[in-house]
Amino acid sequence: MSHKIIKNIGIVTFYPPMRTEFELFGVETFEKNGFNVFFIDISKILTPNLKYDPPVVNDKIVIKINKIRELYDILNQNNLIIVSAVYYTYKTLWLYRLYKKFNVPYIVFDISYHPSRTFESSQKSLQERIKRLNFRNLIIRLVNSNTFNQFLIKKADFALVPNYFSNILDPTIGKNTKILYTHHSDYDKYLANLDKKVSPENIIVFLDEYLPYHPDFQVMKSKPPVTPMNYYTSISRFFDKLEQKTMLQVVIAAHPRSARKNLFGDRKVIYNNTLELVRKSRLVVAHSSTALNFVALYKKPVIFMTTDEIIKTDHNNIIMNMAKCFNKIPINIDDETSIDMSDICSIDLEAYNNYLNNHVKIPGTPEINSWEMFIDCLNENHYI
């Protein structure tokens, strides 16, 4: 079967792209293989009131879209494939309708897969399920159903699937979609750093999630699970206790979207270097960050923590589920109970390995970058 030859890679994002997105979407890998790569930022359409303006990395390859019609000329290119980093929902149905209108080939992948999703459906009570059966959610279910959307959208040409639990892509996957089982993007970073030597340091790394201010809460129009004053007071007090107990220094692996300064007092805050920080640490502290993938890869002891505020929210379930993956129980850092170092420093290797196999890398997949796998797939299917 013949296909149009792909020369351009257009990456559609719902956030202004940052340095982490350049790595996540394999920009360097595509460019090394002769592709012209550019980002299509539709955040102004999806979230026009978003108060979030990250530092520009390379605005020469970022096209900011303000109106839907501005996409027409881009999608009408003959040698283009779209990497759709915007999930299919009732709010983005228009975008997937455009993919169909212009018959543009596109690829989907689970950009924000989180292991806690695998627990969600089993934990919802009958009462909770009934509560969700309102008109809006019935419309959402209808839009997501294959019976309905097979007439509305063109199914994806390719799907990069990081594990067997990922199902958020299902509405866009059809019988002709080429499914490529790869691994989590964090494993790509792990592979890229295999030959790099790192010396251990006497540090504890906190995997920051920017919980009080994360822009996702604006996008989803939901309330953060913590208030800034209470949250930063609690974790600062806990870090003081932890440093006294361990004689180690707490270093902050900053969330890539964090923009506010001086949130952690005098503690060192480091951006865009989470893998190396975890790798050389003695201990990791976290809520439910996907960067826990590095904890599993490098077999680091970990403390899961919650607070009095978080416990009252759904976010606590996410933390509980992540801790369960590592056979741990979260600590409520607002509880004055002393820290049990013997439990903290223990590692359940079976749990760590199960986590890797279930959520980070499907056993048997090639030990190469995910986007290299995709380029090989394009070649095998005569797109290049």
| 32: CATH | 3.40.50
Residue 192 lies in a domain: no
Nearest to 169, CA basis, from 119, 111, 110: 110
Element containing residue 107 per DSSP (H, E): strand 106-109
28/37 Cα distance (integer angstroms): 9
Which pLDDT belongs to residue 47? Answer: 85
- pTM of the shown model: 0.88
Same domain, 308 and 282: yes
Domain that holds residue 58: 8-183+362-380
Which pLDDT belongs to residue 112? Answer: 60
Same domain, 78 and 157: yes
Give the rounded percent of residues in the chain with a pLDDT score beyond 70. 85
Q: Are 77 and 13 in contact (CB under 8 A)?
A: no
Rg (alpha carbons) of the chain, rounded to whole number: 22
CATH number of the domain residue 257 falls in = 3.40.50.2000
84, β-bridge pairs: 12, 108
Same domain, 284 and 206: yes
Which three-class secondary structure state does DSSP give residue 169? coil
Q: Given the DSSP bridges, would you call strands 106-109 and 331-332 parallel, antiparallel or unpaired?
A: unpaired
Structure tokens at 176: 């002709």
Which pLDDT belongs to residue 2? Answer: 58
259/342 Cα distance (integer angstroms): 36
165/185 Cα distance (integer angstroms): 16
Residue pointed to by tokens 């990081």:
162
Structure tokens at 169: 């892509």
CA 276 to chain CA mean position, Å: 18
Total structural domains in the chain? 2
Same domain, 32 and 113: yes
241/55 Cα distance (integer angstroms): 35
Same domain, 98 and 210: no
Nearest to 203, CA basis, from 167, 178, 239, 171: 239
Same domain, 372 and 349: no
DSSP per residue over 154-184, as a string? PPPSEEEESSTT--TTGGG--TT-EEEE-B-
Residue pointed to by tokens 């008109």:
135
Residue 188 lies in a domain: no
Residues in contact with 383: Cβ distance below 8 Å, sequence separation at least 6, in sequence order: 3, 4, 5, 6, 81, 105
Same domain, 143 and 206: no
199/280 Cα distance (integer angstroms): 6
Strand runs labelled E in 162-312: 178-181, 203-207, 249-253, 269-270, 283-286, 302-306
Residue ranges in the chain whose pLDDT is less than 70? 1-2, 52-58, 111-113, 116-151, 166-168, 338
Same domain, 374 and 328: no
Q: Residue count of the chain, please give it.
A: 384
Which pLDDT belongs to residue 290? Answer: 93
Residue 26 lies in a domain: yes
Which three-class secondary structure state does DSSP give residue 214? coil
Same domain, 276 and 368: no
Q: Are 254 and 271 in contact (CB under 8 A)?
A: yes
Residue 145 lies in a domain: yes
Structure confidence by residue, pLDDT tens digits, 146-159: 555 666 899 999 99
Structure tokens at 351: 């749990």
Same domain, 151 and 240: no
Which pLDDT belongs to residue 18? Answer: 84
Residue 2 lies in a domain: no
280/300 Cα distance (integer angstroms): 9
Residue 193 lies in a domain: no
Instruction: Pick left, alpha or beta for residue 231 (phi over 0 → left; psi -120 to 50 → alpha; otherwise beta).
Output: alpha
Structure confidence by residue, pLDDT tens digits, 225-256: 999 999 999 999 999 999 999 999 999 999 98
Structure tokens at 215: 């822009």
- What DSSP designation does 41 have? E
Q: Are 374 and 107 in contact (CB under 8 A)?
A: yes
Which pLDDT belongs to residue 136? Answer: 54
Nearest to 211, CA basis, from 92, 318, 328, 58: 318
CA angle 178, 293, 166 (to 5 degrees): 30
Residue 109 lies in a domain: yes
Residue 138 lies in a domain: yes
